[in-house]
Amino acid sequence: MKGIAKSLLTTLSTFSRKPVTRDYPNVHKTLPERDRAFPLLLWDQEIDEPFCTGCHACERACPVECMTVLMKDNPNHKSVGGTSSRRKIIDKFWIDYARCMRCNICVEVCNFDAIAMNNTWTGHETSVHDRKDLVMDLQMLLSQSHAGAIKEWVPVIGQTNE
């Protein structure tokens, strides 16, 4: 009987504690800076074009082959009277969010810091009715960064805190 009383006391003691649960769809937890949801592309606000040059580095490094990249000549390049120093620029970009396993490798291999993992709640709440809707095109991938709605965290591999 002593043991049962002890276990009942244990459950009773939780009444005095604060609840650890959240009213989820109404209350969102603040996500840490490093949170990794699905990858998205970043927008160069200075020149007003994407950072991505379509170099295929992420496409080749992706373990699950969820990306498709096509590049084109930059119509805004200096040689044709534009303001950008990027000779090539991204033309079409698809990421299949249904296949992506959020391993962060695309971010690591990118030479232009053009891709980042989404660390906001929009990256987590991606439920759709059809799997086809999870294939994101260039416009969808860029929109969040274009609107300035993301403060991305792009790690350098092996970096220390100093």
Partner 1 sequence: MVTERAREFDTQDLLINVGPQHPSTHGVFRMVLEIDGELVKDVIPYIGYLHRGAEKLCETMDYRQGIGFMDRTEYLAAFNAELSYVMAVEALAGLEVPERAQWIRMILCELNRISSHFMFMGAFGVDTGVMGTPFIYGWREREGIIDLFEEISGDRMMYAYFRPGGLAWDVTTNFKARVREVLKSITQGIKDFDGLFTENEIFVARTKGVGYISAEDAIDYGMSGPSLRASGVPMDVRKDEPYLKYSEIDFKVITGEHGDVFDRYHCRLQELRESVKIIEQCLAKMPDTGPIMPEKMPRMLRTPPGEVYLRTEAPRGEYGVYLVSNGGNRPYRLKVRSACLSNLQALKQMSVGQYVADAILVLGSIDIVLSEVDR
Cα dihedral sign for 48, 41, 138, 124? negative
Would you give the binding string for partner 1 spanning residues 60-99, x where CB under 8 A is met? -x-x------------------------------------
The tokens of 11 are what?
């459950």
| Identified binder of partner 1 from the candidate list 104, 120, 122, 126, rule CB under 8 A | 104
Site for partner 1 in 130-159 (CB under 8 A): 155-159
User: Is position 16 an interface residue for partner 1 (rule: CB under 8 A)?
Assistant: no
Query: Taking the complex as a whole, how short is the minimal distance between the CB of residue 2 and partner 1, in angstroms?
Result: 7
Query: Please, which residue, 100 or 138, has the CB nearer to partner 1?
Result: 100
CB-wise, 28 or 72, nearer to partner 1?
A: 28
By CB under 8 A, tell whether 27 contacts partner 1: no
SS3 sequence of 46-113:
CCCEECCCCCCHHHHHCCCCCEEEEEEECCCEHHHCCCECCCEEEEEEEEECCCCCCCCHHHHHCCCC
**Nearest C-alpha neighbor of 115 from the set 59, 77, 47, 73:** 59
For partner 1, which residue of 6, 18, 129, 132 counts as binding (CB under 8 A)? 6
Closest approach, Cβ 76 to partner 1, in A, equals: 31
What's the longest Cα–Cα distance across the chain?
87
CA distances from 14 to 5, 8, 9, 10 (A): 15, 10, 9, 7
Rg of the chain over all Cα atoms, to the nearest angstrom? 22
10 binds partner 1 (CB under 8 A): yes
Enumerate binding residues for partner 1 (CB under 8 A).
1-4, 6-7, 9-11, 14, 20, 31-32, 34-36, 61, 63, 101-105, 108, 117, 119, 155-162
